[in-house]
Chains A and B, each alone.
Chain A
Amino acid sequence: MALSADLSMIWALMRRGLNELLRVPGATIPGVLAPTIFLLGLTSVFGKLTDLSGFGTDSYMSFLIPVSLLQGAAFTGAATGVNLARDIEQGWFDRLLVSPAPRSVLLAGMMLSASLRALLPMTVLLGVGLALGVKFPGAGGLALSIFFVAGFAGVAAGWGSTLAIHFKTQTAAPLMQAGIFMAVLFTTSYAPQELLTGWLQEVARYNPVTQIIEAVRQGFVGGEITWAGTWPGVAALAGLLALLWLLSLREIRRATY
């Protein structure tokens, strides 16, 4: 009975998040536009990096598209944090807190809502990419991309929610966006690990998002999807989700308004 009520609450919060797509369509533009600009722009600028020995592919856009997919998920997740900060400022979140719903259910609703919404920028980016010659990753690669994009949007929503509940203001938005933006870019985003230089080579090696990008990249570059190439990404995603879940749950439990 309790489980059924929890699931209904999660679904209601997810529907509320989806309603925003229909009622405030302009709010989805940054999540779609920014990664698309980066995909097209960075491909134009750094496309010749594929001439470097050991790059592994001659299509820079195919190499870059997993980064853009995760950027789309990151911006969508961060937007969930900004929306939560708005709800806190306007007092709507207080009403949720006095409802009998467990805190964990409120968080789950927001994070899953972000996971679902992230499929919109993903669809647009894949459409643009495939139209411009990105290699189709196959059914397996596509399923893997959906899994990681949805999961990473949950991570970003967890990050955004933690900050939103902590600072209780929309002015924390740049911190939400810049933090997750750095997490995605300080990886093997521009070039394979062995071609990175200086400090970025070390940061990318230990940044768990690198494993997620490499897992998604399997379908677009190389073609063969293997468990050996996938499990580090799954482990990194699970670890990040668990960490952000605990942090945001800690914040929401400490929250007093």
Chain B
Amino acid sequence: MNPSYLQRLAQSTRVVGALGRRSITQAFRRPQYLAPVLLFPSLFLAVNTGGAGRATEIAAFPDVNGFLDFELAGAMMQATMLAGVSGGIALALDIEIGFSDRLLAAPISRAAIVIGRLAATAALGVLAAVWFLAVGFVFGAEIEAGVVGVLLILLLTPFIAAAFGAVTAAIALKSGRASVVQGIFPLVFVILFLSSAFFPSNLLLQPARSISDWNPLSLIADGLREPIVYGLAAEPLLRCLLGIAIIGGLGTILSAWAMRSRLRAGAV
């Protein structure tokens, strides 16, 4: 392998590590970043399970231990999406205060700047998974796939969060304003309502049902739910990875385009 390539890779890894540590410290130091990620999905989980818990009595509802088990994946999805929004806001704030400009002027990889920021988003994703698994256990949920299922969820959630984070990073890079990223907050709910995150696809009303069939979030939600309500299975896991790849790929392409457009506009 070309030594200069290895040197560049090592340098980029160090940069990602340093920026990642900074963004993780920042995220955990400021409760205003953490609170929405855990508070809103927890409230929503509480209301959904208490208000629609009898849904399991509907004839076409899948056979599950309880509605809480079914809803846990939706809550995790919501939290990871909000972690993505939170990461996008933090990146936009870096742009607003000029910190990103200094990074862009430094002899480091552009991608490392975004990946470093996504480290905090991924860490928040793990935190969300741990939180909701704990909530689930306290309130009687069962993980059908056992310890392996828990580990699988803990492995998937940072990638899900980072995939959403890549999309919000693109919005942050393009707009350069935290208020614009903050404005997509309601969209998180819209996109989730149009997926199988909170209810089985076959029981959604039209047109949400048809949209849900094509929404990559349904792939992720169903894959994340599988180890909780049914056990380990290869197909849902592969579909989940496909959903993450679609969202993450879209986010990466959009981020690269937004970064190029920012540099071309002379924002450095």
Whether the Cβ atoms of A49 and B55 lie closer than 8 Å is yes
Whether the Cβ atoms of B43 and A45 lie closer than 8 Å is no
Q: Is B53 an interface residue (CB 8 A)?
A: yes
Whether the Cβ atoms of A41 and B39 lie closer than 8 Å is no
Interface residues on B, range: 20 to 34
Known: A34-B186, A185-B47, A200-B46. A52 touches B58 (CB 8 A): yes
Whether the Cβ atoms of B205 and A191 lie closer than 8 Å is no
Residues of A in contact, count (CB < 8 Å): 36
Q: Is A11 an interface residue (CB 8 A)?
A: no
A230 to chain B, nearest CB (A): 24
Q: Is A145 an interface residue (CB 8 A)?
A: no
Please, what's the 1-or-0 string for A45-60, where 1 marks a CB less than 8 Å from any CB in chain B?
Answer: 1111101100000001
Complex CA–CA separation, A194 to B193 (angstroms)? 25
Q: Is B203 an interface residue (CB 8 A)?
A: yes
Whether the Cβ atoms of B35 and A46 lie closer than 8 Å is no
Measured between beta carbons, the chain B residues less than 8 angstroms from A51 are 58-59
Complex CA–CA separation, A224 to B145 (angstroms)? 51
A127 to chain B, nearest CB (A): 19
CB-nearest residue of chain B to A195: B54
Q: SS class of chain B's interface: helix, strand, loop or mixed?
A: helix
Q: Is A243 an interface residue (CB 8 A)?
A: no
Whether the Cβ atoms of A200 and B54 lie closer than 8 Å is no
Known: A34-B186, A41-B193, A185-B43. A48 touches B203 (CB 8 A): yes
Complex CA–CA separation, A195 to B199 (angstroms)? 17
Whether the Cβ atoms of B193 and A191 lie closer than 8 Å is no
B85 to chain A, nearest CB (A): 14
Complex CA–CA separation, A190 to B209 (angstroms)? 20
Whether the Cβ atoms of A189 and B47 lie closer than 8 Å is yes
Measured between beta carbons, the chain B residues less than 8 angstroms from A46 are 51-52, 55, 198-199
List residues of chain A with CB under 8 Å of any chain B CB.
30, 33-34, 37-38, 40-49, 51-52, 60, 171, 174, 178, 181-182, 185-186, 189-191, 195-201, 203
Measured between beta carbons, the chain B residues less than 8 angstroms from A178 are 39-40, 43
Measured between beta carbons, the chain A residues less than 8 angstroms from B209 are 44
Q: Is B173 an interface residue (CB 8 A)?
A: no
Whether the Cβ atoms of A37 and B190 lie closer than 8 Å is yes
CB-nearest residue of chain A to B212: A44
Known: A37-B189, A44-B193, A48-B205. A197 touches B54 (CB 8 A): yes
Measured between beta carbons, the chain B residues less than 8 angstroms from A33 are 186
A110 to chain B, nearest CB (A): 25
Complex CA–CA separation, A195 to B57 (angstroms)? 11
Known: A197-B53, A199-B50. A44 touches B194 (CB 8 A): yes
CB-nearest residue of chain B to A60: B205
Measured between beta carbons, the chain A residues less than 8 angstroms from B46 are 200
For chain B, residues 19 to 58, give those with C-beta under 8 angstroms from any C-beta of chain A: 32, 35-36, 39-40, 43, 46-55, 57-58
Given contacts A37-B193, A44-B208, 5 further A-B contacts (CB under 8 A): A41-B208, A51-B58, A52-B55, A174-B35, A191-B52
